[in-house]
Amino acid sequence: MRILSGIQPSGKLHLGNYFGMMKPALELQRRGEAFLFIANYHALTTVTDAAELRAATHDVALDFLACGLDPDRTVFYRQSDVPEVQELTWLLSVITPMGLLERCHSYKDKLARGIPPNHGLFAYPVLMAADILAMQTNVVPVGRDQKQHVEVTRDIALKFNNQYGPVFTVPEPMIRDEVAVVPGLDGQKMSKSYGNTIEIFGPPAEVRAKIMRIVTDSKTMADPKDPETCNVFALYRLFATEAERAAMAARYRAGGLGYGEVKKALAEKVAAHFAPLRQRREELARDPEFVTEALRRGGERARTEARRTLAKARQAVGLE
């Protein structure tokens, strides 16, 4: 089973990235043939500073390697190191119906957030389809709110295969229902777009200060509280054991527990969880050649796969 996932280098990675994409992606190393790419082409739709993009791409690579990505088991690469994806994007573009792209939620959501419309934003799903199809991917892990991305890729692959023959593997979404939406400081989904994130490798004092600012309701310490509606508990449960979650939930319901105490407990959990990963990241940062070499080898392996797929697609449409 070939599994593919990608992440944009559009800012510092945060707890939402870690639990929503990174941790599940790292677990997939043991379940199949894993491909993981840093989507720096995609990031160009929002990142316009070249130095910022280079630094963010390097940081994402460091973060993944520090968190346990094994470049010998996972094909880890920069999207830009596989230029065949761009030619494949054009071959897919000419058979993609406009209506399919007009119905995509991501484009509408970005416009609603004030991002200026351009062709890159509109055609984003076709590039995403090329990323997936170039590697003949069987499975794409996504949250339920991202399922449409894979559905669009499936539609494009089926249309191409029906028109030109069986060139592409039609991927299936792997829905991660077990991963809840990670709330940010304001209770909305944690996202760089909302400015409500807690960085996984931010300065410890800053991480703690952010946790202490998480929005809660106005109940007093004496009041019983519902852990299922609390933003702090939603984050605490991601780090706690089952027994710890049950004990904390019971204290919520009994009353006599202040939100400040829970925030301090959460801050301790976050610090303890990421301390060894932070140390590993610092070690890797002192060895930039390791990161560069890991991405280079991953890029070569990914490009070999993409070349095979592109050759089949070019032959099918009559370019060869």
Q: Active site residue: 110, 225, 263, 269, which one?
A: 110
Distance, CA of 277 to CA of 271 (rounded, Å): 10
Q: Active site residue: 12, 23, 159, 189, which one?
A: 189
Question: Are 124 and 106 contacting, i.e. CB atoms less than 8 angstroms apart?
Answer: yes
Query: Which H, E and C letters describe 152-209, residue by residue?
Result: HHHHHHHHHHHHHCCCCCCCEEEECCCCCCCECCCCCECCHHHCCCCECCCCHHHHHH
Q: Is 225 assigned a catalytic role? A: no
Sign of the Cα pseudo-torsion (63, 66, 69, 72, in order): positive
Distance, CA of 267 to CA of 109 (rounded, Å): 32
Tell me how far apart the terminal alpha carbons of the chain are, to the nearest angstrom: 30
Q: Active site residue: 192, 225, 263, 269, which one?
A: 192
Q: Is 312 assigned a catalytic role? A: no
Q: Is 189 assigned a catalytic role? A: yes
| 311: its two tokens | 């050759």
Contacts of 179 (CB under 8 A, 6+ apart): 19, 20, 24, 143
Distance, CA of 5 to CA of 165 (rounded, Å): 26
| 102: its two tokens | 């007009």
Contacts of 197 (CB under 8 A, 6+ apart): 11, 12, 14, 15, 16, 184, 185, 190, 191
In 3D, which of 6, 2, 308, 1 has the Cα closest to residue 167?
308
In 3D, which of 54, 52, 46 has the Cα closest to residue 124?
46
Distance, CA of 19 to CA of 270 (rounded, Å): 12
Residues assigned a catalytic role:
110, 189, 192
